[in-house]
Chain A
Amino acid sequence: MSDNQPVRRRAKSGTANTDAVQKEYQPYVDADWGFVNHWYPALFSNELAEGEVEGIQIAGIQIVLRRANGKVYALKDQCIHRGVRLSAKPMCFNKETISCWYHGFTFNLESGNLDTIVGNPDDPLIGNTGLTTYPVEEVAGLIFVFVRADDYPDEDVPPLAQDFPLRFPENSERFPHPLWPAAPSLLDDDVVALGIHRTGEANWRIACENGFDNAHILVHKDNTIVQANNWVLPLGIRPASEDCITVFDDAEGPKGMMQWLFTDRWEPILENKALNVKVEGLNSRLYRTSVILPGVLLVENWPEEGVAQYEWYVPITDDTYEYWEVLVKHCPSDEDKEQFSYRFDTVYQPLALRGFNDCDLHAREAMQDFYADGTGWQREQLVETDISAIMWRKLASRHNRGIAAPPPGAQGRDKASSIRLRNVSEGKSPGYFVEKIDDLNNFNRTSVRQRNK
């Protein structure tokens, strides 16, 4: 016990706040590092060729991926011995294991067990410990990883479809879409998924809430894709009915919410008299957004007919996220594939995924400082159009499978570590991928002083 004069500790009590309303979704506010025990995209399939090893970070958890005999394996990328990232200098002696390049601890790809130690094959530790493994699924050219807490049981791992947006037409009756054809899903046959992913400097929740924020249509007014298509967007869209959003949370299905855009449940705003601004000849692209756990967006009928845009805002640290934008289209023939791919390169990528959504990256970054220290969740002053964000926060508070803890010993936890600062000074911002060692003979990072005579 402390001496007679106890000292105040004043631990930072998370981002807890005392406001009664916000307590309703406190678990969401607590999820600075994201939700665990969910499926997240990790890499595009073509980013991991046979035999290759890559290191990434999701919800604070460092993960090493390796493809062996076509199959992708994922393990915790933090050696149990001294914490080195296996992915920094991949070393594999066979197709069943991955070894740590530092002292040769060798882990089974399937089970994570410590199978042997290269230079110490009889050590008593062998067989008694290992690394957490992460279930992997590969669909439509994307590698998904079930990012879990170390003690999450194998038998409780849900199917990938539970963390995927609703599929159509099987949900067309429940969520009719008279103005556009059934949206393609990554899980359908014959689909092609083309997209990009990149790191954004904001908390994942800020990014996610931007994705389905109906009131921010204003920022997109000047986008090239909008002007080139002669789209005339409303000034805003306000909820005009009690049932403007429908929550879906069937026990075995995805947990999320559908926004009934372009129905009479949402009213487009065409005029602001106070500012003397008016929109004439409304000619907007028709689309609809839904969001599901752990933070996946589906934009139906976007950016063109027959295409759907999927987005993930995968938490890396509490202040960075990996932004995934994936366009999905049914392409039964090779010709369809070629056309889709050509249009992706020439139109969708530059004008939609970059141009249009780059504008969103600006907006998310602009919000980050306000929320970074946790006070933003208390200080934000909300209006009726924020109903979408609040519904989502409550939904996420209820249906998340676990809140990520600040990760012990992982990169990005200590914002002012010397390595992070050096990387920044060298122009490398904190990111998603491990920094690989490409030349062990060359530690070209500090200035060397020498005396030679």
Chain B
Amino acid sequence: MPLVTCHFSNGAVYEVNADSGRPFLELALEQNVPIRNQCRSGTCLSCLCRGDTAGHALAPQAGRATSLMPMDRAEGKMLCCASEAVSDGALYFDYSSEEAGPTEVQAFVDSIEWIASDAVKLTVELAEGDWLDFRAGQYVEISVPGGGASRSYSMCSAPSELPKLEFMIRVLKSGLMSDYVRGAAKLDDVVRLRGPYGDFAWSGSRRHPHLFIAGGTGLSPICSILQEIRETSGHKPPLKLSLGCASPEALLDPSFLRRLETWMPTLEVNLCVESGAQNGHVNGNALASIDFDALAPDTQAYICGPEGLINAAIDRLLAAGLIPENIHYERFVASGIA
């Protein structure tokens, strides 16, 4: 049986054991090779590839018309859906085997808005011609203007808001990004973004209750996920969000969270503060508002924030009977430590 290797632009290589007689595309898809396709009849050119100059692994299937022209064939171009494997060899695809690999883009600062005593919301817009697809919950590396170094930040906006991206950034007493957003940053500054990264994302389950635990700016990816759920068609599951911050003044954008709560009938938001609790606040960290004994065991949990909070939350959730697969988390490791 011929052995055909498929090379993608990102360097990924897949091997296909290819029986003759059947269209190569079908065999490759069965073996999970991400070859693009649509018509599967030799027309649309989606499954186009280039053969090895040394020899031809594929040959057109007899009696099939395709939209390849003689000069295409002379260049070694082939259509996977209308060809069969005839010998060992290599095929080259001029696209990446991954749907949205990390890219680097430029963006303009639209606004920097204080949303708590020690945090800002940074809003940027991708430059003309630049694009960066992401899944709610993912993050990008932002290169700090003038500083050269990069810091990681999770988007708090939903992918549907592209080309606009929003970030919640905690402003430390001193730090590279912290100093930038507090001082030099201004409208129309250009920032470089690289990403997306991370697999902290919504599972897509709409039948199980959800619990979101956020410490500080750990709220950011959770906001994005909540908005993704809001935009999803069909019934929404019960959603609980517990946000923990140091003090009432440090609570992140509580008015936005209250609005989200009114726009999402199945969402309940609890605000926790370590000190100075006022009306409606729960005293303690983000775990303080959660009744772990009452958690349904099929709860889907999403945790984001500092290391200590994540570890404590995982322990409590496992003890409450959740299975590890249903516990999703993202650690905001301080730069230089990871």
Contact = CB atoms under 8 A, between A and B. Distances in A.
B233 A151 contact: yes
A6 B128 contact: yes
Contacts of A13: 164
Interface string A1-24: 110001111110100000010011
Interface in B98-125: 103-108, 125
B265 A124 contact: no
A9 B81 CA distance: 39
Nearest to B105: A1
Given A23-B259, A397-B262, A398-B265, A6 B130 contact: yes
B24 to A, nearest CB: 14
Nearest to B264: A398
A6 B233 contact: no
B262 A394 contact: yes
B263 A27 contact: yes
Contacts of B188: 8
Nearest to B194: A1
Contacts of A151: 233-234
B173 interface: no
Contacts of A153: 233-234
Interface residues of A, number: 32
B336 to A, nearest CB: 26
Contact of B108 (A8, A399, A401): A8
Contact of B163 (A11, A394, A397): A11
B244 to A, nearest CB: 25
Interface residues of B, number: 30
Contacts of A6: 106-108, 127-128, 130, 190
A402 B233 contact: yes
A353 interface: no
Contacts of B63: none
A123 B106 contact: no
A398 B234 contact: no
Interface in A13-44: 13, 20, 23-24, 26-27, 37
Contacts of B177: none
A7 B127 contact: yes
A308 interface: no
Contacts of B81: 124
Nearest to B161: A13
Interface of A: 1-2, 6-11, 13, 20, 23-24, 26-27, 37, 123-125, 148-149, 151-153, 156, 249, 394, 397-399, 401-403
Interface of B: 39-41, 81, 103-108, 125-130, 163-164, 188, 190, 231, 233-235, 255, 259, 262-265
16 contacts: A1-B105, A1-B106, A2-B129, A2-B130, A6-B106, A6-B107, A6-B127, A6-B130, A7-B127, A9-B163, A10-B125, A24-B262, A37-B233, A124-B40, A151-B234, A156-B233
Give the 8 A-B CB pairs with smallest separation, nearest first: A6-B127, A152-B233, A156-B234, A7-B128, A6-B106, A124-B40, A9-B128, A149-B233
Given A6-B106, A8-B108, 12 more contacts: A1-B130, A2-B128, A6-B130, A7-B128, A8-B128, A9-B128, A9-B163, A10-B125, A11-B164, A37-B233, A152-B234, A398-B262
